[in-house]
Structure 1
Amino acid sequence: MKILLPICAGLLFGASALHADSVPLDFETANQFTNSFRVLSAGGATLTQTSNGGANDYMQSANGSGSSYVYDANGASAGISSFTVSQSTSLTISADVSFTVSNNSFGIYIINAADESQGYLAIFNVNFSSTSDQIRFSNNAVPTTAGAGSPLNNGSFANNADTGIGLLGAFNNISLTYSINGSNAPVLTMTAGSQTSSITLSGTAFTDVEVGFRMSSTASGIVGMDNLNIATSAVPEPSTYAALAGIAVLGLATLRRRGNR
């Protein structure tokens, strides 16, 4: 009786936690930014890795707007680092992000590995209208110029709502999951603090992708990024969910019968 439930729980949660690739970056190693990223467009901003020491280092964009860069294990050397996404494999990017002034933004690009000028973008603006936040998406972003493209509607998230992400340099988690639905359309789901927004974009999805970032800060602002993780995950088939749910129900029923005895 004590063994059955852990086994069922492992089947239910283990299937959705499979990772084919995982890239964790904490920026505590010297030159981790320059060795792991290529700058696509500095946009007048200063892109640096801090040197605070004591597990307090992070990547930052300061004093400029529209900086963009892409994850690349080769750094500035030739070659790219890409991830394969399909209807059975999704990609999740998670990072701790900080802002020092209002209406600065942090965006995550999903880039077509065959053409880095083509990308999808999920972007978060902190304190977009003095006291509230905004999540937006774009299916025609231009990563090579830090272009945001034409922002689309914001999915299920209400613009100018509170996410709990504040200013003054406090780090809060922002994540993006890129998946491909059964119609082969790209789906972006961004979570910023307490709010989640999801949208299905038009067009055929990119399957070989790079991961890029877009930071925009005012002349006096700093946007920071720490504890980055990029990972692909297996997406269980609906039949798998049904089978696992059936196993769990069977296990619970068995426990009830034993309890009644």
Structure 2
Amino acid sequence: MEGSESEAIFESFDLKPQLFINEALNRVDELVDGAFDYFHQEAARLLKTEGTDRSEDLKLGINYVRHTVQSALDKRLSMWEQYCLHHCFATPGFSLPSANEISGDDPMDQDDVNDEEVDAQLDLLRRRLAEAGKECAELNRELQALERRSAVSNQCVLSVNKALELYDRSSAYVMFQEMLRAASELRRKMEKLKTKQQEESERDWREKACDANGDIPEFNFSTGLASLKLDDLHEFITEMNI
């Protein structure tokens, strides 16, 4: 498609490709001018050529470099301009509608119908999104309530565990004290029983001795048989056999 026909098609939509290209080229020229002006100022400052004979030589050298760069850049930009016109802004297979076409068959009218359908779908999606947002907010509130309940429950469990721990410690202490009292009572009863058995043994020995000859041997039963002398034992046995 020729460039003039493409331009006419774009202009029918209030679009101007050549104006866009010209603005881009002007912007590039401004950037190049600013870059070389800055380059000239920095070179003069570093080389200290301001107000000397070398200032003109520096200017000529920078102009030569700029001309070389500008020539190569212009060639590249010219190729870029042709590429944009023949490829980027070309409209193959598209032609402007004729004046005698029926308005009902106009693709623009079909686009309007399609736009209405799209708008209806967008409205439906917006409503669904709003409902989903409400449900999400409600779920967040329920989740926060559950988290608060969980925190209270955990605090209660912690308090109960501490109370049980204190109770266990108290029970163990009470049990230990009961064991001490029981051991002391058992020791007291054993000593009492031992004393009673010793008294009964002494009484039995005395009764047997009295039955034998009517005399009561003077034995010290409280110290047991280990404290008796051998002669006393013989005498006691002899008296028991009579």
Same fold (TM over 0.5): no
Q: Which structure features the higher share of strand residues? A: 1
